[in-house]
Amino acid sequence: MAALPPRRAGGGEMTRYRPLSRRFFARHSVVVARALLGHLLVHETAGGRLVGRIVETEAYRGSRDPASHASRQTPRSAIMFGRPGIAYVYFSYGMHHCLNVTTEPDGRPGAVLLRALEIIEGVEGTRHSTSPVTRLAAGPGRLTAAMRVGPEHNGTDLTALPLFIAYGGRRRAAIVAGPRIGISATASRRWRFGLAGHPALSRPFRRL
DNA sequence: ACTACGATCTACT
DNA sequence: GTAGATCGTAGTG
């Protein structure tokens, strides 16, 4: 009998990175946006595993949130009305992709935009053009570039391989909040959240 | 078919 | 601080 081949670095490590449950995402977008801070985005690629800690998010919710793509029901936004825990990837400003995870129970529109990560594994597999390394995923467009996320991930399940959100341990840092970036309306809603003082934030949070 | 614009990033002043 | 790159989506004709 031949020896077992070595475990591939792909699925075998799912014990180390445990996906969050779908129920985690089936809540109010603002609750999910805050709760995601400190958890991990994991991507098992052919070139190796990429892992980043989520340090900044934004909540988008409901049909009456004018800043949200779900303020109108269109082919693109349909995914925000579906089941939670699914990737919503859209193309922005003609050159970037942004990654969201859908929220709220099935049938209610919502999503959380992942705006910044601290890359903690697989830095050598990410693009090296951005320096310092702490800024590699500091912004929604940089995040998708660093994590090799593209339109092919739109509609995929973020609770399963190869791209998923995993438990990241107990969060230590305090959470800060502010108005969402690039949104003219609803500036009074402070639905942008971040880990206080983290170097990978896309932009600083203003003090009250 | 044609137009306007954006949940951005980089480079430059 | 502000401009330019660049194109899918959605609204209008």
Question: Per-residue pLDDT tens for A154-169?
Answer: 999 999 999 999 999 9
The token duo for A129 is 């053009």
Q: Write the pLDDT tens digit of every residue in A37-71.
A: 999 999 999 999 999 999 999 999 988 899 999 99
Q: Write the pLDDT tens digit of every residue in A117-163.
A: 999 999 776 655 667 889 999 999 999 999 999 999 999 999 999 99
Q: Residue A73 pairs with which residues in a beta bridge? A: none
Q: Which residue has the tokens 């305090």?
A: A174
CB atoms within 10 A of CB A66: 11
**C-alpha A124, offset from chain centre:** 20
- Measured CA A72 to C1' B4 distance, in angstroms: 17
A2 CB and strand C closer than 7 A: no
Q: What is the pTM of this model?
A: 0.91
* Amino acid making up residue A145: A
Query: Quick check: A206 pLDDT over 90?
Result: no
A132 CB and strand C closer than 7 A: no
- Cα A196-A191-A86 angle, rounded to 5 deg: 100
